[in-house]
Chains A and B, each alone.
Chain A
């Protein structure tokens, strides 16, 4: 097919103009591409809920300015007692996510090119970016960053979980663990803030984790290689699902 501009430029700095409103004669046909199974979505949201609970209870103990958050969990003693158990639950739910998705997050050549063009990424100049598989380098960064930080927080958390593990380490080790635990936590929270924002910024992403599907156009725009792979696999089975999950 002919190479023609496929996107409606959303960035006015490239000099193009666009109509204020697309004129739509009829409802455009849209196909839906499955992206996450029900089990994957449930695993993701369990992890997300636990991460939120850990953030709120952890920040309560991180700085006096946020100690009031302990009220959400029934007071300081209760917050201190339940925080590590949230952590244990999270390491289990995150392990599910990790073993499902680690292969898809192995970096490749496209990730290098994508990362070099990060300016085009943040200015929505999608047409200048390479065609990508299921994940881009930013998504892979979230995946590996969280994997590393969750491991750091899990092990340093055990060291400072005095109720059960006090006797196994000396005080100096516990001091290092406290510092590592809090630094890893703030970086992990910052990554999650970016992760959530990306879901707001890249329109149409949310339904991947809510309904399990994305539109064909979304896949074409952001993960074209993946769309092609999926299309070839799907033809073996039947027409694309138009109901949208």
Chain B
């Protein structure tokens, strides 16, 4: 999707080149204040509008979520949870805007085998460059939040870009621009954290003792953050992981296993070469050819002659 010419890159998938780093950068972040969300889905509509996506008509699964999951054409989604608070006996409608969290340590980028198919800009946005995507789906396995989706149409991975094209020219993402209650805010990461702390303080004064900011350290912090009324139980919000991090399986596969693999294959080849230059080839001697003829003759004249079944001289 994105043309990254106007944004500096910090990390590029499957690449060893060091991107330019002389400019100093401010990290940006989107702050989603769940306590202010009314579930109107204007953000979903704005996302489709700006990114020129029209998802297929789906099916109703009995809940308000529509569509019921993220798709290659639905990059953000309101997820509705009805929660009966055991302390207050109140029914709480917890509505979380799901989508890419733009991790500082992105599992998708770590897993990606294709150079430059996933980049992280210096401002913190993680973007898929679909031209370079090979459709292997490794990003899906790398992501701790289950966000990327592979299109059935072109076998390429898609997800929220945090409107990198808008951000590059000083605009806020479409969802933040359109949110009628101001539940979605956008600015520098620093400013957003400050804003979140104000909101958390306010929520605490209103009886939400466990209100807090969701900026999980396991993935180095994220560039999409939530203000949650129950920050101690993020799972309440439709399974938002409590302590997300890159799966150790993925970390090993892309770390130790790769080194082990290259070393094993290289060692096998080198061992063969050095064996040859030390022990040398194993050659048949002329005497052995003669012995074989003797074996053949002995079999012909020997006592076992004639026991053959006639099926005979085929290999084994």
Contacts and interface: CB of A to CB of B under 8 A. Distances in A.
Contacts of A64: 13-16, 113, 115
Contact of A233 (B261, B286, B311): B311
B191 interface: no
A162 B150 contact: yes
Contacts of A240: 296
B287 A182 contact: no
Nearest to B114: A76
A30 B113 contact: no
Given A76-B132, A193-B269, 20 more contacts: A34-B313, A37-B315, A67-B114, A75-B134, A163-B135, A171-B140, A172-B247, A175-B249, A187-B264, A189-B265, A193-B268, A193-B272, A194-B268, A204-B284, A216-B289, A216-B293, A227-B292, A228-B295, A233-B313, A235-B300
Given A37-B315, A232-B299, A220 B261 contact: no
B66 to A, nearest CB: 21
Nearest to B150: A162
Contact of B288 (A24, A80, A160, A220): A220
B138 interface: yes
Contacts of A104: 316
B310 A124 contact: no
A212 interface: yes
Interface of B: 13-16, 113-115, 132-138, 140-141, 146, 150, 155, 247, 249-250, 252-253, 257-258, 260-262, 264-265, 267-269, 271-272, 275-276, 279-296, 298-300, 302, 304-316
B291 to A, nearest CB: 5
- Which range holds the interface residue count of chain A? 35 or more
For the residues of A in contact with B, the DSSP-based class is helix
A134 B298 CA distance: 20
A1 B294 contact: yes
Contact of B299 (A8, A186, A217, A235): A235
Nearest to A224: B295
Nearest to A234: B313
Interface of A: 1, 6-8, 10-11, 22, 24, 28-31, 33-37, 40, 60-65, 67, 70, 75-77, 79-81, 104, 122-124, 126, 134, 160, 162-163, 166, 171-172, 174-176, 178-179, 182-183, 185-187, 189-191, 193-194, 197, 200-204, 212, 215-221, 224, 227-228, 230-238, 240-241
Contacts of A11: 279-280
B151 to A, nearest CB: 11
A35 B311 CA distance: 15
Residue from the set B137, B279, B292 with the largest chain A CB neighbour count within 10 Å: B292
Contacts of A62: 113, 258, 261
Nearest to B314: A37
Contact of B281 (A126, A203, A235): A203
Contacts of B132: 76
B280 A124 contact: yes
A77 B135 contact: yes
A35 B313 CA distance: 9
